[in-house]
Amino acid sequence: MSSGNGAAMRETENHFDVVVVGGGIAGLQSALDLADQDYRVLVVEKQPSIGGRMISLSKVFPTLDCASCITTPKMSAAAHHSNITLMTYTTVDAIEPAGDNHRLTLTQMARYVDTSACIGCRQCEYVCPVEYPDPFEQGMGALRAISVPFANAIPQYAVLNPEYCIGCGACVRACASDAIRLDQQPKTLTVEAGAVVLATGFHLNSTSLKPQYNASRSKDIVSPLQVERLLAPHGPYGRVLRPSDGKIPDSVAFVLCAGSRDQSIGVPYCSRVCCMYSIKQAMLLSGALPTADITIYYMDIRAFGKGFEQFYQNAKAMGISFVKGKVARITPQPNGDLMARVEAIEEDGRVMENRHDLVVLAQGIVPELVSPERLGAAKEEDGFIRRPDPLRPAWTGREGIFVAGTAAGPKDIVDSIMEAGSAAMEASHYLTQKRATADANAPSLELEVIGAASE
Amino acid sequence: MPAKLTEAHRQALKLFREQHSDLDGTLKKYVADFRHERKQITEALRKGAGTVPELTRQTGLPVDQVLWHVTAMRKYGTVQEAGADGDYVKYEFIEQNGK
Amino acid sequence: MSEQKKSSNPKTESQKPRIGVYICRCGGNISDVVNTDALAGKVKQLGDVAACRVETFMCSDPGQATIVEDIQKQNLNRVVVASCSPFLHELTFRTVVQRGGLNPFLYEHVNIREQDSWAHKHDPVGATSKALRMINAAVGKLHHAEPLERIRMGNHRQTLVVGGGIAGLKTAAELAGKGVPVILVEQSSSLGGRVALLARTFPREDEGSVLAKKLIAQVTDHPLVRIFTRARIERVSGFIGNFDVKIAFEPKPDASASSDPQGAGHSANAAEVYASVGTIIVATGADPYKPARGEYGFGEQPAVVSLADFLRQLATLPNGNFIWNGKRVRNVGFLHCVGSRQVEGVNPPQADGKINDYCSRYCCTAILQQALTLKMRFPDVNVFDFYQDIRTYGGHEDYYTKSSAAGVVFLRYHAEEPPVVEPGENGSALKVRVKDYLTFGEEVEVPLDLLVLGVGLVAHDIPELIDLLKLPVGADRFLQEVHPKLRPVETAVNGVLLAGTAQAPMNIEETLSAAGAAAVKAAIPLSRDAVELDPFVAEVNAEKCNGCERCLTECAYTGALFKETVQVDGESAVKARVNPGLCFGCGACVAVCPTRAIDLKGWTLDQFDAMIDGLVEAVPVEG
């Protein structure tokens, strides 16, 4: 099995038309839209696989397509594109002006595996004796100290986690292609780019930000990304179980705005996607757990995108219970149950105590990139990358540096993909202007005007 | 047939151990706990299929750890589901041939 | 996309078929119903099947690599993938097969998800048996498959943009900046569309006309942009790379048109314009919903106005007391979801019999922006906001927070119980009766001097263009993309793209992003000299053709089929011939040919026969 790089990076190759920082769905779409116009693109991803957050999702709203079915072809198209070079497990430490271009300082982290030799056969993983909580499964499943990160990872190279490796050498012995390199060191390198697209994505803020929800006291007060994995076809348990003790849940609650719309936790804005993914997860859960009660506690249902309102109405018709109310407190009981204290605004304002097996906190979306200044951009008060020109929504205000997707603010996949296309367009526009050399082959306007043409 | 380690491999292993010696204390404890827990659960499962609460009672381990181990073993092919008992799934051990 | 490889392995392809069949579990979407392992067992027994494998995600990189490896190591020369709809992944796997060294058209895609596992959830045995029959049909079809080459056609490397609002202007500016010539056609006499009319826009409080003027400045006088106002598309024919367009003009009413602030100077007086373009961008925009007479008092009560009218007038009012139409105003109401989120049986249907059940996306923020502006300028005015859900998503939440802090009073109604607007009493112009669910469903009467209707957006009415370009339209009357994530700005017509609110309600920033996305998809095919089309076109076997011309009568595509006189054994005979660039592969000619002289490449009559045989002969598998 060969994996990956349509254009393997040659040692001498250090100039690209565009470097895309981040190999999630926005970065990949930007890269593809640029490469399809024959620009040479480098995609730098800090995780060992491209695919970003989207590849870990179960299904996506409002079409309920499986997320893999949409993401893998884009990942694969990027990996096999002759104009795209992928560098995974690599961080971008700095972006600085270099004459007319940008100079990027990159650190390729040690995988402890020679990627030119690894064939992704996973023999090393099969013999590795240590397992640790799998980050791809949000800690719920297990991963071995050396392993291919997940089933449809691209590239399919093993990566060793030194924090859990005991140095037993079993993988070295098992590797038929002698690809394990325990003496590998991180490597710093620089590349130059004509333009940069920042697609650095998001993460969720902590479930512990609101102490009244007691997330630290129960494994069953979970993050929405955990629910995505519980619902995914090859999730950690192979089915939906509550993480504390493996019970098949019969009552699941969603608490919306659990990490957004609250100045006191530093996230005054709305995270835009929580209403919709909660509705989606509720629908999928009601399919996986036909007898379970599913409740969504909300303030406003923000189903604003194309097809979203109809999706919401379908969920109501399916019997998912929508309760407009403030969840004041979640209290774990000694028997593992979770009691939610809710002020039901819509009814008589009375305070209810509802029992649930599993409570999902809709956390806030915050930028993954903490210091955009290092990468040549500035940030807004909310921490997301600043875009000063209302007419150029993909431009950071810095010469030749563009932004796509959730790096510029919370948004859904459709909007991220749109912005990624827009960033690719602005970057290609910029590169054309910068080159400013008369292309002999450039088309000129051709049309035929019949009649009195006065212009 | 596992390959023999070459001198280069041994040098690399030595360097790796040296570079990560700061982790030794925590890692040793983690691995010891991991092996101990895995062994207890394997022994319990060898006696017959069980749910996570049942295996918890037999081993005295924390219940969330039992779930984690059982499903990890399921992922790597040494455990499979064997029906359900009320709200809990039963798991059984798969005896490996030749191992 | 990389350059078309020649079918690199003609030797293998002409040999006896060695077919690889790959069955996808689709992570359970298929294998939860279809017994994929039993299916594979049966498929292995089918004639000429040399390899059969089951994978969790065939489309993943490991899945693709398996196919490539099998082609090379097991000398496969035909491939079947049984997975999801070909609409999603047929192209993916054609590329995989090509990467393995085979002609990409020696590939068959079988849809055992949408057409099988999803359709027969409750009949696993039947679904498994059906999957086998479908695969057997594909295997049969592949026995008769031949390597095909995509048709290469010339490429007119310029774009037609329909619509001169901000979406059209943005696409034109980006494309011209990238070096792609653009012809921009605007129906009205001026550029800038709806945004040019907005006094204030969110979230940056820019004046709409200022934004529009900046965009207009980027395209007027650009050597690669030609703008025609008062113009419309009269005729379109052809296909990607080669659309022939005729543009016609509305007669100019009089000389005063030249005093038009934005359009003047660029509205050519031409009688007709002809152009050939490679891609077309539809940026025809949306209109504010126009309430019916009497809907919430609109058109009957002078104190009921639409949001756009309110916005325009508010911008011109002096500070001090809030005076509207000569009267001092103390109580103002804003009503959300007018013309949006409508409910069957509650809201009367629109002209086409349908209700607008979608959310118009921009209005909550636009309303609260105005409510806040009003409160800031006239703090004594009481503002009441009648809503269902406040959808100030993202950073727009700021408007909601600030409006609440400024004292805007919110009342929440249910879609099934919309507020009732009646003439007022005791000096008030109006009275709004509503069941307020923030006060536990209490029936409230709110006296108002002015009610602002937060009208939604409706698709701009473009029946002629929809007809000319064969544009797909959704149930909400907005133009329909192929897939919201895989191909979000592309239509089912290759080379025709959507930009902005023609596709769905959006705000300004979203419209500009969508326009950028459309521009890039318009630029990609124009970045090379030729376009490649699928080879599924008709082909005439001249030996069998008897010159009866029935096919010519049946063909609906001008120029696709023609007759020519050839010499056969010294005598002249009339034979039909196909122009592959113009043929759409509809098959109408094949159906009427009495001598089986015409076949569709990739879909020959022999292949259809083999597929039917394959469907009927398969042995059911055990579930």
pLDDT of residue A35: 98
Out of A341, A365, A389, pick the residue that ends a domain: A365
**The domain B7-93: what is its CATH number?**
1.10.10.10
pLDDT for C557 beyond 90: no
Out of A346, A365, A384, pick the residue that ends a domain: A365
pLDDT for A9 beyond 80: no
What pTM was computed for the model? Answer: 0.90
C160-184 tens-digit pLDDT: 999 999 999 999 999 999 999 999 9
Query: How many other C-beta atoms lie within 10 A of the C-beta of residue A366?
Result: 22
pLDDT for C252 beyond 90: no
One-letter amino acid identity for C124? P
- pLDDT (average), residues C345-363: 95
Cross-chain Cβ contact A444/C224 below 8 Å: yes
C463-503 tens-digit pLDDT: 999 999 999 999 999 999 999 999 999 998 899 999 999 99
Structure tokens that stand for B88 in this block: 């809990």
A39-62 tens-digit pLDDT: 999 999 999 999 999 999 999 999
Straight-line distance from the first to the last Cα atom of chain B, in angstroms, rounded to the nearest whole number: 14
Q: How many domains does chain A have?
A: 2
ipTM: 0.95
The answer to whether A154 faces chain C, any CB pair under 8 Å, is: yes
Q: Compare all CA atoms of chain A with the CA of C205 and give the residue at the minimum distance.
A: A390
pLDDT for C534 beyond 70: yes
Q: How far apart are CA A384 and CA A378, in angstroms?
A: 8
Contacts of A236 in chain B (CB under 8 A): 71, 75
Out of A365, A399, A426, pick the residue that ends a domain: A365
- pLDDT (average), residues C194-202: 88
Contacts of A178 in chain B (CB under 8 A): 3
Class (C level, CATH) for C159-285+460-530: alpha beta
Q: Which residue range forms the structural domain that includes residue A383?
A: 15-109+186-201+368-435
Cross-chain Cβ contact A169/B5 below 8 Å: yes
Q: What Cα–Cα distance (Å) separates residue A44 from each residue in A158, C116, C374?
A: 18, 40, 48
Give residue ranges of A with CB < 8 Å to any B CB.
Answer: 112, 126, 130-133, 140-142, 144, 162-167, 169, 172-176, 178, 181-183, 219, 236-239, 241, 243-248, 250
- pLDDT (average), residues A110-116: 95
DSSP C109: E
What CATH architecture applies to the domain C10-150+607-617? 3-Layer(aba) Sandwich (3.40)
pLDDT of residue C134: 96
pLDDT of residue C9: 46
pLDDT for C258 beyond 70: no
pLDDT of residue A266: 94
B53-77 tens-digit pLDDT: 999 999 999 999 999 999 999 999 9
User: Is A333 inside any structural domain?
Assistant: yes
Whether residue A213 is found in the same domain as residue A102: no
User: Is A146 inside any structural domain?
Assistant: no
Whether residue A301 is found in the same domain as residue A217: yes
Listed by number, the residues of chain A in 2-41 with a beta carbon closer than 8 Å to a beta carbon of chain C are: 2-4, 33, 36-38
Please report, rounded to a whole number, the percentage of residues in chain A having pLDDT higher than 90. Answer: 86
pLDDT for C269 beyond 80: no
User: Is A263 inside any structural domain?
Assistant: yes
A129-178 tens-digit pLDDT: 999 999 999 999 999 999 999 988 999 999 999 999 999 999 999 998 89
Q: Compare all CA atoms of chain A with the CA of B18 and give the residue at the minimum distance.
A: A167
CATH entry, C292-457, from 1.10.443.10, 3.50.50.60, 3.40.50.720, 3.40.1390.10 = 3.50.50.60
Q: What Cα–Cα distance (Å) separates residue C5 from each residue in C72, C108, C149?
A: 16, 19, 9
**Residue in A178, A224, A183 with CA at minimum distance from that of residue A205:** A224
> How many interchain CB pairs under 8 A, A with C?
285
pLDDT of residue A152: 87
What residues contact residue C242 under an 8 Å CB cut-off, 6+ apart? C153, C154, C155, C156, C276, C278, C531, C581
Cross-chain Cβ contact A82/C485 below 8 Å: no
**Residue in A336, A354, A330 with CA at minimum distance from that of residue A249:** A336
DSSP C6: P
Whether residue A191 is found in the same domain as residue A302: no
pLDDT for A347 beyond 80: no
DSSP string, C379-392: TTSEEEEEES----
What CATH architecture applies to the domain C538-600? 2-Layer Sandwich (3.30)
What's the sign of the alpha-carbon dihedral A81, A83, A87, A93? negative
CB-CB contact of C276 with C243 (8 Å): yes
pLDDT for C3 beyond 50: no
pLDDT of residue A435: 83
Q: How far apart are CA C510 and CA A412, in angstroms?
A: 12
Q: How far apart are CA C286 and CA C531, in angstroms?
A: 32
Whether residue A45 is found in the same domain as residue A194: yes
Angle at C272 between CA C270 and CA C278, to 5 degrees: 115
User: Is A160 inside any structural domain?
Assistant: no
The answer to whether B2 faces chain A, any CB pair under 8 Å, is: yes
Backbone angles phi, psi at C269, to 5 degrees: -85, 10
C377-412 tens-digit pLDDT: 999 999 999 999 999 999 999 999 999 999 999 999
Q: Compare all CA atoms of chain B with the CA of A163 and give the residue at the minimum distance.
A: B23
Whether residue A330 is found in the same domain as residue A376: no
A285-335 tens-digit pLDDT: 999 999 999 999 999 999 999 999 999 999 999 999 999 999 999 999 999
Number of H helices, E strands in chain B: 4, 3
C103-116 tens-digit pLDDT: 999 999 999 999 99
- pLDDT (average), residues A338-351: 88
pLDDT of residue A178: 93
Q: Outline which parts of chain C fall under CATH 3.50.50.60.
A: 159-285+460-530, 292-457
User: Is A145 inside any structural domain?
Assistant: no
Structure tokens that stand for C118 in this block: 């999803």
In Å, how far is B64's CA from the nearest CA of chain A?
A: 5
Give the CATH number of the domain where residue A265 resides. 3.50.50.60
Whether residue A398 is found in the same domain as residue A288: no
B3-57 tens-digit pLDDT: 688 999 999 999 999 998 887 789 999 999 999 999 999 999 999 999 999 999 9
User: Is A29 inside any structural domain?
Assistant: yes
Cross-chain Cβ contact B71/A237 below 8 Å: yes
pLDDT for C4 beyond 80: no
Whether residue A285 is found in the same domain as residue A385: no
**3-class secondary structure per residue, chain A:** CCCCCCCCCCCCCCEEEEEEECCCHHHHHHHHHHHCCCCCEEEECCCCCCCCCHHHCCEECCCCEEHHHHHHHHHHHHHHCCCEEEECCEEEEEEEEECCEEEEEEEECCCCECCCCCCCCCHHHHHCCCEEECHHHCCCCEEECEECCCCCCCCCCCEECCCCCCCCCHHHHHCCCCCECCCCCCEEEEEEEEEEEECCCEEECCHHHCHHHCHHHCCCEECHHHHHHHHCCCCCCCCCCCCCCCECCCEEEEECCCCCCEHHHCECCCCCCHHHHHHHHHHHHHHHCCCCEEEEEECCCCCCCCCHHHHHHHHHHCCCEEEEEEEEEEEECCCCCEEEEEEECCCCCCEEEEEECEEEECCCEEECCCCHHHHCCCECCCCCECCCCCCCCCECCCCCEEECHHHHCCCCHHHHHHHHHHHHHHHHHHHHHHHCCCCCCCCCCCCEEECCCCC
Backbone angles phi, psi at C467, to 5 degrees: -70, -45
- pLDDT (average), residues C246-254: 79
* Chains with 3 or more CB pairs under 8 A to chain C: A
The answer to whether B82 faces chain A, any CB pair under 8 Å, is: no
pLDDT of residue A57: 97
Chain B meets chain C (3+ C-beta pairs below 8 A) = no
Listed by number, the residues of chain A in 320-349 with a beta carbon closer than 8 Å to a beta carbon of chain C are: 324, 345-349
- Give the pLDDT band of residue A393 (cuts 50, 70, 90): very high
**Residue in A37, A421, A426 with CA at minimum distance from that of residue C523:** A37
Angle at A192 between CA A191 and CA A196, to 5 degrees: 110
What's the sign of the alpha-carbon dihedral B68, B70, B73, B77? negative
pLDDT of residue A7: 45
C7-37 tens-digit pLDDT: 444 444 557 899 999 999 988 889 999 999 9
Q: How far apart are CA A447 and CA C316, in angstroms?
A: 44
How high does pLDDT run on average in chain B?
Answer: 91
In the block, which residue shows the tokens 């050498």?
A169
What residues contact residue C183 under an 8 Å CB cut-off, 6+ apart? A445, A447, C158, C159, C160, C161, C225, C226, C228, C245, C247, C273, C275, C277
Q: How far apart are CA A241 and CA A97, in angstroms?
A: 51
User: Is A246 inside any structural domain?
Assistant: yes
Whether residue A248 is found in the same domain as residue A340: yes
The answer to whether A212 faces chain C, any CB pair under 8 Å, is: no
